[in-house]
Amino acid sequence: MTDNQASESREDGAAALLASGGRRAVFSRYGQRPSYGLGERAMRYLLRSLAYLTVGVTFAILIVLFVDAMQFFRQVNILDFIAGTQWEPFGEPKKLGVLPLLSGTLMIAVGSSLVAIPLGLGTAVYLTQYASRRIRNIVTPIVEILGGIPTVVYGYFALTTVTPFLRTIFPGIEVFNALSASIVVGIAILPMISSLSIDSLGAVPASIRNAGYALGMRKFHVVTKIIIPAATSGIVASFILAFARAIGETMAVVLAAGATPNLELNYLEGIQTMTAFIVQISLGDTPAGTIEYYTIYAIGLSLFLITFAFNLLASRIVLRFREVYQ
């Protein structure tokens, strides 16, 4: 008897045993609850406790934000906070309109996205569709290293290198400016777009790509007309998540963009973002319990709501436009 015949005989015997109701002979605990040893139970309880701890810490942060932010909004009208065009919390009378800070934050997020999106997507397309395995193994770790550089280093890089270079192009640019901050933040968020886009492009089945070649399409058209549209949900989600990351960027913006809240929308001038103001208040010079102190919780709550909205939008886009392949 050959090996194939022996294997088929064993399979036929097992199938006959199962068909005759002998499942207990094959599976000794068939129909019973799984057996959990002490180690398995301990590990299950440990992992459950860690999951509950993570959720509890998240809710604790939210409670602190909401409770202290309400202390701010008891003294400041929420409409004045949302629609106000001047931010001067240390002057008299105090002007607590968040629009200048929101404007600076969005300027950095938009400017950095304009830098990171073409570079990140182009890098992802090149590494997945054009680069050889050797080049991919060299370039991918280099791109990922950019995400591990501390943002304070990016800030000093903007001050010492980017801004002096920009002055050769724009002589009137200020020392602290939104343009250099946008460039370095764009470099910082580039690995997020690149890595997520690589995963999305890699998830497109080879059969779809090969079908394009079978129709006589060139590689460029296969990439732009088939592969990228098929991975649109993941790519767009990476853009949104990177945009949300840029909104929450702190140290690079503090060092490169300055601390001048305004609504000028001029990238050659200094601005102040919401995170930069939180750093300014957190230096310890503001007495606890004052209206200036509670501004950091109002700004923090606003940042949380903005980033939460962008993360929710990214999740909805992935679910709405996700392609399912067999």
290: Cα within 13 Å, side-chain hemisphere: 11
Is the domain of 20 the same as that of 127?
no
Is the domain of 224 the same as that of 201?
yes
Q: Is residue 122 part of a domain?
A: yes
Is the domain of 5 the same as that of 106?
no
Q: Give the burial string for 210-248 (b: 16+ CB within 10 Å, else e).
A: eebeeeebeeeebbeebbbebbebbbbbbbbbbbbbbbb
Is the domain of 248 the same as that of 288?
yes
pTM attached to this predicted model: 0.79
Give, for all 326 residues of the chain, the pLDDT tens digit: 455 555 555 555 555 555 555 555 555 555 566 666 677 778 888 999 999 999 999 899 889 889 888 988 888 888 888 888 888 888 777 888 888 898 989 999 999 999 999 999 999 999 888 888 888 888 888 888 888 888 889 989 998 899 999 999 988 888 889 999 999 999 999 999 999 899 888 888 888 888 888 888 888 888 888 888 888 888 888 888 899 889 888 888 988 888 888 888 888 888 888 888 888 887 767 777 788 888 888 888 888 888 888 888 877 777 776 655 55
Residue with tokens 């968020």: 189
Domain count, the chain: 3
Q: Is residue 326 part of a domain?
A: no
DSSP state of 109: H
Is the domain of 95 the same as that of 43?
no
Q: What angle do CA 301, 304, 305 make, to 5 degrees?
A: 90
Q: Is residue 83 part of a domain?
A: no
Is the domain of 203 the same as that of 191?
yes
Is the domain of 124 the same as that of 63?
no
Cα-only R_g, the chain: 28
Tens digits of residue pLDDT in 226-271: 888 888 888 888 888 899 889 888 888 988 888 888 888 888 888 8
Tens digits of residue pLDDT in 189-235: 999 999 989 988 888 888 888 888 888 888 888 888 888 888 888 88
Is the domain of 144 the same as that of 64?
no
Residue 41 belongs to domain spanning: 37-74
